[in-house]
Amino acid sequence: MVRIAVLDEERCDSKRCGRPCYRFCPPVRNKIEAIIFESNKPQIVESLCVGCGICVRKCPFKAISIVNLADELEEECSHRFGPNTFKLFRLPTPSAGVVLGLLGQNGIGKTTALHILSGEIKPNLGKYGEPPEWRQLIQHFRGSTLQEYFQRLSEGNLKVVHKPQYVDRISRVISGKVGELLEKVDERDKLSQLTEQLQLETIWDRDLKVLSGGELQRVAVVASICREADVYLFDEPSSYLDVKQRLQAAKAIQTLKQDGKTVIVAEHDLAILDYLSDQICIFYGDPGVYGVVSHVHGVRVGINIYLEGFIPDENIRFRKDPIIFHVKPPAAGLTGGEPVLEWSELKKSYGEFKFQAVPGEVKRGEVVGIFGPNGIGKTTFIKVLAGIEEADSGETSTPSEMKVSYKPQYISPQYKGSVEDLLKETAEKTFETSLYHSQILQPLKMQLLLDRDVTELSGGELQRVAIAACLSREAELYLLDEPSAYLDVEERLSVARTIRRVIENRKVTAFVVEHDVVAQDFIADRLMILTGEPGLHGFANPPTDLRDGMNSFLKDMAITFRRDPQTKRPRVNKEDSKLDRHQKKIGEYYYIRD
């Protein structure tokens, strides 16, 4: 057996704990302690470790992970950054004229794989001390597509364009106006077409530094497609975008394969990944410890394998339970009960932007999803319900002293203290109960974050903590604005499942603003559709049932969905396909009734 021993140096505080993990390691105690004191830095020697697990149990900071793997997998190690750090096995196999999708959890190696394929990281085959030369790398991948790929990359004969994951960092290193910057990189004469397709006219003369996340994302996608290259890598191209923008970006990326380009996309939105990709590589393993890249599968089969959690051709089960969809989300026990919240016609203005909501109501025990483009007033409506903003006219009718819990769209880590302190203050007495642990802490994977400082959390970790804090409050109305942002597929569906269970068990009500169609389908009982012209005026329709709401929304988007016969997950129909034309003709944009 090969053991991967990873020590999280950010968590480890060997001076405070006195290194109990090493003192209690009988087989190799003296050897390890000698190495520790010589280097003055924590380090586990994997060649000596017997995998007894004592150090993991003794570490008070949960900084150590030890995983046993099959021997033959070690021969397929692609990269490791150093001792006791993340290890990546295998690499995705790129193919010309094909869009290859990468699917897996956060911290499992997708971005590392893209950095390797872009040439930003030279793979070391796990030999971080003595990295191999290009000749040895090419020999290692002999007989595969990667042999020629790395051959061309080493000779400088392969041009790669890489759209990074964090587009908000682009404005820190590049300055100038959008139009001028895009014109400089338009090597394929595609700018005019893409500007119209991704609606960049309104920001053409703006400086890059004043753009929002969604605007930066669209600019980054257009800039990548406009450049002339052999390989195009896109890391989470749908982040910050609404549903329509995601589909437009996907269509733009698809045009690259028509020109025979090699395209690889890492994406967490299942519907977009399904729509965009021809093939899928699944990443599985232990986040932050190791990641394994599966063999290539067809897009439908690959996504279904991921949801099932079992790879038949490798005989690997990487998740205990499958992710199951329902043709109709499970009905809450009291949906259809007494109204909890009613509102009259609401109006709110911000300068030139005007928002209006027609009268509506929600009932106890239901989750109402909110759909609409960016800049249409979704957050405005939520803030009015939360009492953060006051409507210019109209009012809400609620029981006296209704308690409201609100998770904002943009989370600022202002709390000074640990995650555990924050949740204890929020949940109060319920924090110690088994119900709270099983209902919130476990499904949202809070255990490993409890001793972390809130200000040090990543975007995805901060999002999960914010959701946990929102659901920890005792309230009758829960308002969650874009809870899936920064989360991977499993985290999104786990969050959706957690919200549903909390709302049903407490017999309360929730509004959820969400751009991920699959997540919204998983969570919502009814939908509110917001229409209008982004940035100018928004109109909120009253809540309607899930099917009618989806049909209305998808008709406006001019796209149709179907249900996968195996997993029942929503799938986007290819534009102008036979099924797409048929569903549009009969007015069933969501899916055809059985």
Q: ∠210-216-218 over CA atoms, to 5°? A: 140
Q: Specify the pLDDT at position 66.
A: 73
Structure tokens at 532: 């209008």
Burial 415-448 (b: 16+ CB within 10 A, else e): beebbbebbbebbeebbeeeebeebbbebbebee
Q: Are 159 and 228 in contact (CB under 8 A)?
A: yes
Give the Cα separation of 489 and 58 in Å (integer): 32
- Strand 297-298 and strand 99-103: the pairing is unpaired
Enclosing H/E stretch for 407: strand 404-407
- Name residues whose C-beta falls within 8 Å of residue 357's C-beta, 6 or more positions apart in sequence: 343, 345, 346, 347, 381, 384, 394, 539, 540
- Strand 99-103 and strand 160-163: the pairing is unpaired
- 2-69 belongs to which CATH class? alpha beta
| Closest CA relative to residue 524, chosen from 465, 560, 570 | 570
Give the Cα separation of 79 and 123 in Å (integer): 5
Give the phi and the psi of residue 549 in degrees, each rounded to 5. Answer: -65, -45
Q: Specify the pLDDT at position 24.
A: 63
Q: Are 108 and 291 in contact (CB under 8 A)?
A: yes
Give the Cα separation of 495 and 470 in Å (integer): 12
pLDDT digits (tens, 9 = 90+) for 114-132: 999 999 999 999 998 899 9
Give the Cα separation of 554 and 562 in Å (integer): 12
Q: Specify the pLDDT at position 212.
A: 82
Burial of 15 (0-12, 13-18, 19+ CB in 10 A): exposed
Give the Cα separation of 338 and 320 in Å (integer): 39
pLDDT digits (tens, 9 = 90+) for 307-366: 999 999 888 888 888 888 776 544 444 445 678 888 888 999 988 889 999 999 888 889
Quick check: do 2-69 and 74-317 share a fold? no
Give the Cα separation of 291 and 318 in Å (integer): 11
**Beta-carbon-side half-sphere exposure of residue 390 (alpha carbons within 13 Å):** 1
Q: Specify the pLDDT at position 39.
A: 52
- Name residues whose C-beta falls within 8 Å of residue 462's C-beta, 6 or more positions apart in sequence: 411, 413, 454, 486
Helix orientation angle between 489-506 and 459-472, rounded to the nearest 10 degrees? 10
Q: What is the 3-state secondary structure (H, E, C) of 421-485?
A: HHHHHHHHHHHHCHHHHHHHHCCCCCHHHCCCEHHHCCHHHHHHHHHHHHHHCCCCEEEEECCCC
| Closest CA relative to residue 202, chosen from 536, 444, 437 | 536
Cβ neighbours, 10 Å, residue 153 = 23
Structure tokens at 320: 């205990």
Q: Which fold has domain 74-317?
A: Rossmann fold (3.40.50)
- The ranges assigned to domains in the chain are 2-69, 74-317, 339-544, 558-594
Give the Cα separation of 8 and 286 in Å (integer): 13
What is the end-to-end Cα distance of the chain in Å, rounded?
A: 50
* pLDDT tens across the length of the chain (594 residues): 556 777 777 677 766 676 667 666 655 554 555 445 455 556 677 766 766 777 777 777 777 777 666 555 778 899 998 888 899 999 999 999 999 999 999 989 999 999 999 999 999 999 988 999 999 999 999 989 999 999 999 999 999 999 998 887 787 888 889 999 999 999 999 999 999 999 899 889 988 888 888 889 999 999 999 999 999 999 999 988 988 899 899 999 999 998 999 999 999 999 899 999 999 999 999 888 899 999 999 999 999 999 999 999 888 888 888 888 776 544 444 445 678 888 888 999 988 889 999 999 888 889 999 998 888 899 899 998 888 888 888 877 655 568 899 998 878 777 888 899 999 999 988 999 999 999 999 999 998 888 888 888 888 899 999 999 999 999 999 999 999 888 888 899 899 989 999 998 998 999 999 988 888 888 898 999 999 888 889 999 999 988 888 898 888 888 899 988 888 888 888 888 999 999 999 999 988 765
CA of residue 426 relative to chain centroid, distance: 26
| Closest CA relative to residue 316, chosen from 354, 347, 285, 290 | 285
In 117-274, where do the E strands start and end?
Answer: 160-163, 231-235, 262-266
Instruction: Give CATH for domain 339-544.
Output: 3.40.50.300
- Percent of residues, the chain, with pLDDT higher than 70: 89
